[in-house]
Chain A
Amino acid sequence: MNQDDIRALVITAIQSVAPEITAEDIEPDEDLRDTCDLDSMDYLNLLSALKKSCGVNIPETDYPKVRTFTGMVDYLNKHLT
């Protein structure tokens, strides 16, 4: 899976919890929860969606690493290979 595939995957997961968000709305280096207006339940659902779609289980201790869209894509990239 290349970087673009992972990006698409994350966007799909975000849209599963925040259907009105488009790729253009996402500020890659801003806090994902702020830019996409995700509460703690949304965020948990986002991680559930990612676990389902790519099998990566992001533990709570790694939440700081996946704070931004870029961080999330990098994290998945690292854990998928």
Chain B
Amino acid sequence: MARQSFDIVMPSLGADMRDGTLTEWLVAEGDHVSKGDSIAVIETNKGAIEMESYYSGTINRLLVQPMLTLPVGAILGTIDADSNTETDAEENADADIVTDNEQPVSQSISPPIHNEPPIVPVVSTAPATETSVRALTSQRLASPIVRALAQQQQLDLRGISGSGPQGAILLKDIQTLLQAQSAASSPSEAATAAPSSKAVTPKTATSSRDSNAMREAIAAAMEKSKREIPHYYLSHEIDLSVAKQWLSQENAGRDPDDRLLLTALLIKAVAILLPRFPALNGHYLDGRFEPAPAIHIGTVISLREGGLMVPAIHHADQLSLNDTMLALRDISQRSRTGRLRSSELTDATITLTHIGDRGSDSVFGVIYPPQVAILGFGRLRQSPLVKQGQINICDTMTVTLSADHRVSDGIQGAKFLHALSQQLQQPELL
């Protein structure tokens, strides 16, 4: 069968995402990639996200230079899929990549000029780019992206000497200039930057998140949830004395790097129970519930600068407790300083939020659509519990469940919380 070409488009990383900035290609034309490989870095209001390929195949063309903000669905490049991956492709109707020629914009892309970076099509839905190109009626040779960037950074192109053919100003000329400017204007900022963050990304890549944009995104998702999902709420007090003691014993012989957090125990307990409660694990789409075949637990990570991310731990039911902890560490770290992958932000099947031990006694989550349930773990605290007619001081936690009444009823939810409590009485089995 002949190879089929697909467009690589700006992915939608959640219903609330309208556009993203391509900050870096991780592949070059001619590279062969496997399905799931990271091919580009996209900057969104959730920070830098690694965009994964939905196809195995050969990167055919990269049409967009880094640093341009484009709407969801804009074509970034093309890939020639290996013929045997077409079935996979069809399964991913909402994939990052859509079939070729679906969007007329691809017709307007001029072939790359030799020795020139690929020229970015000025997509009509990116008004900032369009106006900026018009505003800069400079005599200097420069591609649209260079002009867009110059406009964004309020640089006068006439004052810049280009290193391209006929003195054309290239993207790297602007980037070098901006880096030099930023280093000169804020030496202290550069010096106090986290050691791991190499200063290769120009300032315009907005490596720091826009907290307003993130707040808007959270608001949009939660508004939709509250408007569309009939929530019901349950809370259950769980005695974690045994679990906490078991955890202390486990951690006694471990270095900090290998220690387990209670959250890992909770995630694992939830994950292994969910197969028995399919009505809590899945998505409500197009007027009906689709139970998820896998268990991907979205975990709420609070960011230091405010806002939050909810990356998923994939196949959490199949991970050992140690691996669950590693996965938790990994997504926490990448949520804050590194990069999450696009699938991690889009395919959670249930969400878990943990208010932390300095937080409040309980937290009632708002379901993240199109999911159908969210679990809330309150602060671990000491409180009196009556057991067999006696008052005991126990380590307790209030666990809550907010679930979608279109899919499940309170009694199912209550059974789940009860089973969770039972499960957590035997931490050694996790």
Partner-B contacts on A (CB < 8 A):
15-16, 18-20, 33-34, 37, 39-41, 44-45, 47-48, 50-51, 57-61
A and B contact pairs by CB, cutoff 8 A, 26 listed? A16-B194, A16-B195, A18-B304, A19-B192, A19-B193, A20-B305, A37-B304, A39-B302, A39-B356, A39-B358, A40-B261, A40-B262, A40-B357, A41-B263, A44-B256, A44-B259, A45-B333, A47-B256, A48-B255, A57-B255, A58-B256, A59-B251, A59-B252, A60-B248, A60-B251, A60-B259
Chain B residues 254-272 with CB under 8 Å of chain A are 255-257, 259, 261-263
B332 near A: Cβ within 8 Å?
yes
Tell me, rounded to whole Å, the shortest Cβ–Cβ distance linking B21 to chain A: 23
Tell me, rounded to whole Å, the shortest Cβ–Cβ distance linking A26 to chain B: 15
Tell me, rounded to whole Å, the shortest Cβ–Cβ distance linking B37 to chain A: 28
Pick the contact of B356 from A18, A19, A40, A58 — CB < 8 Å?
A40
Tell me, rounded to whole Å, the shortest Cβ–Cβ distance linking A34 to chain B: 7
Task: Report chain B residues within 8 Å CB of A47.
Answer: 256
Task: Report chain B residues within 8 Å CB of A58.
Answer: 256
B223-265 CB mask vs A (1 if < 8 Å, else 0) is: 0000000000000000000000000100110011101011100
What 10 pairs between A and B have smallest CB-CB spacing?
A: A47-B256, A48-B256, A19-B194, A48-B257, A41-B332, A39-B356, A60-B251, A51-B256, A40-B261, A57-B255
Interface size range on B against A: 20 to 34
Chain B residues 203-217 with CB under 8 Å of chain A are none
Q: How many A-B residue contacts, CB cutoff 8 Å?
A: 50
Contact of B304 with A20 in the complex, beta carbons under 8 Å? yes
Contact of B304 with A57 in the complex, beta carbons under 8 Å? no
Tell me, rounded to whole Å, the shortest Cβ–Cβ distance linking A18 to chain B: 6
Task: Report chain A residues within 8 Å CB of B195.
Answer: 16
Contacts A40-B357, A51-B256 given; 20 further ones with Cβ under 8 A? Answer: A15-B194, A16-B194, A16-B195, A34-B358, A40-B263, A41-B263, A45-B256, A45-B333, A47-B256, A48-B255, A48-B256, A51-B257, A57-B255, A58-B256, A59-B252, A60-B248, A60-B251, A60-B252, A61-B248, A61-B252
Tell me, rounded to whole Å, the shortest Cβ–Cβ distance linking B299 to chain A: 11
Task: Report chain A residues within 8 Å CB of B256.
Answer: 44-45, 47-48, 50-51, 57-58
Chain B residue nearest to A51 in the complex (CB): B256
